[in-house]
A and B are shown apart, each in its own frame.
Chain A
Amino acid sequence: MCRGLLNRGTRANRVAFWKNPFEAPPPIPRAPLPSESAALVLQEAERAPEDDVDAVPEDRRQAHTRQRDLTLQFTGDTWEYFRLWTATQALIFLTLGLYAPWARVRRTRYLARHYRLDGVGFEYRANPWAILKGKLFVYALLIVGVALCIWSPLLIAPLVLISFLPLAWLLTHSFRFRWQTFRYRNIPFGFIPDAMSIFWPTVLMGVTTAYVTMASFGGVGAAGGSWGIFVGLMLSMLLALLAWPYVTSKLLHHRFSNALWGASRFRLHCTVGEIFNMLFASGKAFYFAIATIFTFLNVLSLMIKNIDLRSLAQATAYLLLTVAAVAYGRTRRLNYTLNRLQIGNEIAFVSTMEPRHAGWRAMRYGLASVFTLGLAIPWATIDFARWRTENLIVRLDGEWSSFPAFAPNAATKGAIVDGLAEQFGIEVGW
């Protein structure tokens, strides 16, 4: 059971803001706007079903007397970001990728500066040279790894397993690097790496992945025959349906609960198990609908004789439904996490991003980006940032002077580790 922050709430008295994907969702509970009455908002909230893990906890529904809601805005401009994005992207292509770290710094800096909380923007400070060095080191490692695998296929599974052993350390230090590069009100964020807390989950994922790899390359099949292949298949499903969501939930928890802003520690009032369970606690209808539509469209596409049209139909179905499913799941998890997150004793969040809307948005962004050959990515980025800020409330209990700085180490530390961690493709998402 999640611990309440200010008042201990129960599941029954939390407010659900979304339940059934096939019906119009109930209004999102939120703090009343100045022109609205709190009673109206409460009335809307009462319509929401009870016992819903997607609900905003009772104690976050409204600001208590000492709290004030801070203004959160995104002030970025689509055309301006388009100019920055295309110019940096052209430079990336011209330099065959070498400019990518500089592009990342410029883009992230732009976005961070335009996220304005209580009238002040965020700051992003990273050293592109450090990121570039990290990338080059990673590519050197990759080349050696690929050469070894070609030299002896028997090395593939051990190499996969070995590569997962330091993953916990890599990820925690990657988190540290990413947190340290952001500042707000000239106070840097920080992170306390605790690799041991995520060691066993990452090893579990490594063992499963290595087994699946071995099954693909014949090592298991040769020893275990068709049973080996069957076990490999089962483990693949286990990996996709259980291990991956569990590990990413664990990482998300770790990423928030060990973060700092100045000397103030982030506090996440729920366990990894609760984050993991909430993924399966509701939304089954949505996922079932996605799987059914995907299967139906694929079967339907087999009736198209033209290869180009069939590929287009299959790719579109895959694109739309996959991004929708991922965006839906991520948004639910992010809402759940943010609604239980606190910085020190003073800052709390209320996230009301509606998962179904996130799914639709992801589909729209994906389609637009593909049909404009990527040129719609800046629009998608800005549009999503605006939507995100419109659905996030930040509450402050106290004054800014109560947040002291804490001497952090250099923000460029961990760039190599960050590059290595990126290669595993584990996106925890926000």
Chain B
Amino acid sequence: MSEATSSVTGEQALLFDGQHAAAEAVHIEHDARAGSWRIHRSDGNFETIAAMHVSSADDSDRVRSRLALSDGRLIELAQPRSGAWRVRDPSRVGRWIRERRNAWFSAIAVLLLPVFILTVILPGAVNLVAPRIPMSFEARLGETVLTSVTRSTLRPTSLPADVQERLRQRFDALAQAAELPTARLLFYSGMANAFALPGGAVVVTDELIGLLGDDHYLVAVLAHELGHVAHRDALRGIATHLIASQLLTVAMSQDELTTKVVDLVASNVLSAQYSQSVERQADRYACELLAKTKQSPAWLGDAFAKFIDLGKRYNTDLNSGTYTSSHPPTVERIAASKACAEEHGFMR
């Protein structure tokens, strides 16, 4: 039979019997029509094996093909082979992976899918779940976080009681207008800051009160924090962070240091972008709330202008953190609050 019409091809191979590590040199033939394999042993004997007893899983064209026999023996061919010698990958996904033309499509997907998942799917899922979490659970979470931050970064307030009372009254009026009965104001000392905790607590530091100087500005900042309370941003933020970090861990679950580094950088950049969108929403909420309570939304912009001075003190340009900062550029926030004030007729 001529080579062109023959369905049988032969190849040198090594046979590993699984009993010890030595290999036996054999000659193996494959009959593509019959779908069977014949192993010619070194002692002159041969055995025929049906294709159903042979399996192979190669993800590489450059590696020597291997045939695993159902009795535990293993045959490694002398050359990487294709066509009839290659046992078809039983899984459709496996065959898709081996298609060369899918490589660039996959590469683009690898770049875009994480961004899509972390910026669209994940916040969407969290938005769906967060409103269904009981308030009592959220309040407990808030206490846990507060215990942690008071231990690590905050000290008791030294603000006079009358000042506290005055600010609390203004805060309560805002909370009432916003219909947020769980909102409460807490005073501490620490770095100039204000933040909302899960469950409705809003923390403001003596240092921030001192920096802003005027109650109007502080009220504007508190309105912004009430925006976070209304949107349950603290809860959503914690849930988003937990899920995102686990997703990234799963996606990059290799023991290589490099993958962990990429994981770290990607999660920081993407969480900064998520945080900026949340801050913009809280700014918008504060503008609306201030306007509703007949107070100028422009105060929020004025308060932000004070932060620019604070930034200068620490040699930081607060308008520059487009990609990595947790907050949008301050100039953009000031412009937005002015626009909001004009919209509600406070700038005429």
Contact = CB atoms under 8 A, between A and B. Distances in A.
Contacts of A240: none
Nearest to A302: B315
Interface string B10-26: 00001011111111000
24 contacts: A76-B60, A76-B62, A80-B60, A83-B97, A83-B106, A89-B110, A90-B110, A91-B97, A106-B59, A120-B14, A150-B144, A187-B20, A216-B152, A217-B147, A308-B322, A308-B323, A308-B325, A311-B325, A369-B258, A370-B261, A374-B259, A381-B256, A405-B18, A427-B255
A216 B152 CA distance: 7
B325 A403 contact: no
A305 B320 contact: yes
Contact of B257 (A107, A315, A326, A399): A326
A315 B265 contact: yes
B306 to A, nearest CB: 18
A121 B14 CA distance: 12
Contact of A369 (B17, B150, B261, B324): B261
A386 interface: no
Given A308-B325, A323-B257, A94 B113 contact: yes
B18 A110 contact: no
B2 interface: no
Given A100-B251, A186-B18, A216-B148, A150 B140 contact: yes
Contacts of B258: 323, 362, 365-366, 369, 377, 380-381
Contacts of A83: 97, 100, 102-103, 106
A9 interface: no
B50 interface: no
A404 interface: yes
Interface string B261-298: 11011101000000000000000000000000000000
A32 B241 CA distance: 54
A113 interface: yes
Contacts of A146: 242
A93 B251 contact: yes
Contact of A96 (B103, B148, B247, B265): B247
5 smallest A-B Cβ distances: which pairs?
A: A307-B321, A186-B16, A97-B250, A93-B113, A401-B22
Interface string A76-108: 110010111011111111101100101010110
A135 B253 CA distance: 11
B262 A309 contact: no
> Chain A binding site: helix, strand, loop or mixed by DSSP?
helix
A184 interface: yes
Given A307-B320, A370-B265, 18 more contacts: A86-B109, A94-B109, A100-B250, A100-B251, A150-B140, A215-B151, A216-B151, A217-B144, A305-B320, A308-B321, A308-B325, A310-B316, A362-B257, A373-B110, A373-B266, A399-B22, A400-B23, A404-B19
A153 B22 contact: no
A90 B109 contact: yes
A296 interface: no
A185 B324 CA distance: 51
A109 interface: yes
B163 interface: no
Interface string B210-253: 00000000000000000000000000000000100011001101
A72 B83 CA distance: 29
A92 B251 contact: yes
A366 B246 CA distance: 21
A150 B100 contact: no
A113 B251 contact: no
A17 B104 CA distance: 43
B316 A307 contact: yes
B113 A75 contact: no
Contact of B148 (A76, A217, A401): A217
Contacts of A221: 151
B147 A218 contact: yes
A381 B255 CA distance: 11
Contacts of A120: 14, 23, 76
Contacts of B20: 187, 262, 400-405
Contacts of B72: 186
B285 to A, nearest CB: 24
B88 interface: no
Nearest to A113: B63
Contacts of A142: 246
B106 A307 contact: no
B257 A366 contact: yes
Contacts of B336: none
A369 B127 CA distance: 32
Interface in B319-345: 320-325
Given A120-B14, A307-B324, A89 B21 contact: no
B309 interface: no
Nearest to A228: B151
Contact of B261 (A135, A312, A366): A366
Contacts of A139: 246
B106 A306 contact: no
Given A114-B63, A400-B22, A308 B110 contact: no
A139 B242 CA distance: 12
B254 interface: yes
Interface string B147-162: 1101110000000000
A288 interface: no
Interface in A216-236: 216-218, 221
A45 interface: no
B151 A87 contact: no
Given A375-B107, A427-B255, A90 B147 contact: no
A403 B102 CA distance: 43
B135 interface: no
A373 to B, nearest CB: 6
A186 B14 CA distance: 11
Contacts of B22: 185, 399-401
B57 interface: yes
B100 A121 contact: no
A146 to B, nearest CB: 7
